[in-house]
Amino acid sequence: MEFKTRLKAARARSGKSLRIVARDAGCSHAYLSRIENGRDTPSANLVSKLAKALDSDVDELCALAGCVPPDVEKKVLGYGKAFWSMVRDGRLERVFRYIQKVGKDI
Reported as a single tens digit per residue, the pLDDT across 28-60 is 999 999 999 999 999 999 999 999 999 999 989
Eight-state DSSP code of residue 54: T
Q: What pLDDT does 39 receive?
A: 96
Answer yes or no: is pLDDT of 104 > 60.
no
| Sign of the four-CA dihedral 6, 69, 42, 66 | negative
Of 6 and 99, more confident: 6
Domain identity same for 7 and 52: yes
- 103: pLDDT confidence band, cut at 50, 70 and 90? low
Domain identity same for 98 and 81: yes
Domain identity same for 21 and 63: yes
Q: What pLDDT does 53 receive?
A: 97
Domain identity same for 16 and 34: yes
pLDDT tens digits, one per residue of 55-95: 999 989 988 998 888 877 777 777 777 777 777 777 767 76
Number of structural domains the chain divides into? 2
Q: What pLDDT does 82 receive?
A: 73
Domain residue limits at 34: 3-67
Rounded to 5 degrees, φ, ψ at 28 are -80, 155
Eight-state DSSP code of residue 47: H
Q: What is the mean pLDDT of the segment spanning 18-28?
A: 98
CA 48 – CA 67 distance, rounded (Å): 10
Domain identity same for 7 and 56: yes
